């Protein structure tokens, strides 16, 4: 839908090499410099607007993406029309890597964002030649698996407060990975997104946030920003807080 403006390879390379920590880190981590250059040649930067789709469930998986800037959500639309958010992705994360030939879920942006598109064919050809890349892909897949299982444990046995607390900690960890402070966080997703992610209604999410504010655990200085004030308490809610 939105305006997508592939940049030149030259700009692209500059961007990648200049900001590897923030953009390409997910895939490049631990790779030799020359491999990184090879990857750069197979990729292009694309800007997309909020609510834009990086790809849709069922599309041919012709490319993988790394998120350079912004935030994205992965989601599946359930038969009855509701949506289940599988996870959020942040700068440096790899999106759309799959062993199948079609994407298993939608990837949608929650705010204006920049993604780096990497041709899948080229990536796979490369990974045959460079065992570093293929091992890295497997590592990332295992990482995602661990995250999903973590999330599973989180969801199944936690109260609404525990879930929101765990969500905030995930957000903090993502921010830290990208060099942010960890107390002042961007919160670009809506209450509906958070609810669809945690298996709660909009109202419940809103009530938990209100409760946290009243209890002095956090502030929301402006729309789209949270400041975590009482980290120990939030951590305690996230790990101890039982639903039973």
Partner DNA sequence: CGGGCATTTGAGAGTACTCAACCGATGTGG
Partner DNA sequence: CCACATCGGTTGAGTACTCTCAAATGCCCG
Where does this chain bind DNA (CB under 7 A)?
A: 159-161, 190-192, 199-207, 209-210, 220, 223, 242-244
CA distances from 225 to 147, 168, 171, 183 (A): 24, 12, 11, 10
Q: What string marks each residue from 157 to 176 as x (binds a copy of itself by CB under 8 A) or -?
A: x-------------------
Distance, in Å, from the CA atom of 68 to the CA atom of 216, rounded to the nearest integer, reads: 33
Query: Among 1-9, 41-49, 64-72, 193-201, which window interacts with a copy of itself (CB under 8 A)?
Result: 193-201
Map the footprint of a copy of itself across residues 102-131, applying CB under 8 A: 104-105, 128, 131
Distance, in Å, from the CA atom of 74 to the CA atom of 97, rounded to the nearest integer, reads: 12
Residue from 20, 137, 185, 228 in contact with a copy of itself (CB under 8 A): 137
Query: Among 31-39, 138-146, 175-183, 221-229, which window interacts with a copy of itself (CB under 8 A)?
Result: 138-146
CA distances from 81 to 77, 166, 241 (A): 6, 26, 31
- The residue among 221 and 232 lying less far from DNA, judged by its C-beta, is 221
Nearest by Cα to 39 from 12, 18, 21: 12
201 binds a copy of itself (CB under 8 A): yes
| Strands of the sheet with 218-219, listed across from one edge | 184-186, 225-228, 218-219
Strands (E), the chain: 43-48, 53-55, 63-69, 72-77, 83-89, 94-95, 106-109, 113-119, 184-186, 218-219, 225-228
Cβ 161 to a copy of itself shortest distance, Å: 15
Residue from 57, 59, 119, 144 in contact with a copy of itself (CB under 8 A): 144
Distance, in Å, from the CA atom of 89 to the CA atom of 143, rounded to the nearest integer, reads: 13
CA distances from 232 to 64, 95, 111 (A): 37, 32, 30
34 binds a copy of itself (CB under 8 A): no
199 binds a copy of itself (CB under 8 A): yes
190 binds a copy of itself (CB under 8 A): no
Residue from 4, 8, 11, 149 in contact with a copy of itself (CB under 8 A): 149
Query: Distance between alpha carbon 165 and the CA centroid of its chain, in Å?
Result: 18
Residue from 14, 148, 192, 210 in contact with a copy of itself (CB under 8 A): 148
**Residue 35 interacts with which of DNA, a copy of itself, none, CB < 5 to 8 Å by class:** none
Strands (E), 99-220: 106-109, 113-119, 184-186, 218-219
Applying CB under 8 A, which residues contact a copy of itself? Answer: 76, 78-80, 82, 84, 86, 98-100, 104-105, 128, 131, 134-135, 137-139, 141-146, 148-149, 151-153, 155-157, 197-199, 201, 239-240, 242-244
């Amino acid at each position: 839908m939105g305006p997508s403006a592939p940049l030149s390879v030259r700009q692209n390379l500059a961007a990648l090499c200049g900001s590897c920590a923030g953009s390409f880190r997910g895939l490049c981590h631990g790779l030799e410099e020359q491999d990184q250059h090879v990857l750069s040649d197979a990729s292009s930067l694309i800007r997309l607007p909020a609510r834009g789709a990086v790809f849709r469930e069922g599309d041919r998986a012709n490319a993988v993406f790394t998120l350079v800037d912004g935030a994205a959500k992965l989601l599946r639309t359930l038969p009855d029309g509701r949506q289940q958010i599988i996870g959020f992705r942040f700068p440096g994360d790899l999106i759309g890597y799959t062993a199948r030939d079609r994407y298993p879920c939608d990837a949608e942006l929650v705010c204006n964002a920049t993604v780096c598109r990497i041709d899948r064919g080229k990536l796979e050809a490369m990974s045959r030649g460079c065992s570093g890349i293929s091992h890295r892909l497997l590592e990332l897949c295992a990482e995602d698996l661990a995250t999903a299982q973590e999330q599973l444990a989180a969801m199944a046995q936690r109260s609404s407060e525990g879930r929101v607390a765990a969500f905030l900690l995930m957000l903090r960890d993502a921010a830290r990975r990208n060099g942010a402070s960890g107390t002042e966080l961007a919160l670009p997703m809506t209450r509906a997104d958070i609810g669809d992610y945690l298996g709660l209604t909009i109202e419940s999410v809103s009530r938990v946030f209100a409760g946290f504010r009243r209890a002095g655990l956090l502030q929301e200085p402006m729309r789209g920003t949270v400041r975590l004030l009482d980290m120990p308490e939030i951590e305690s809610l996230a790990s101890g807080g039982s639903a039973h």
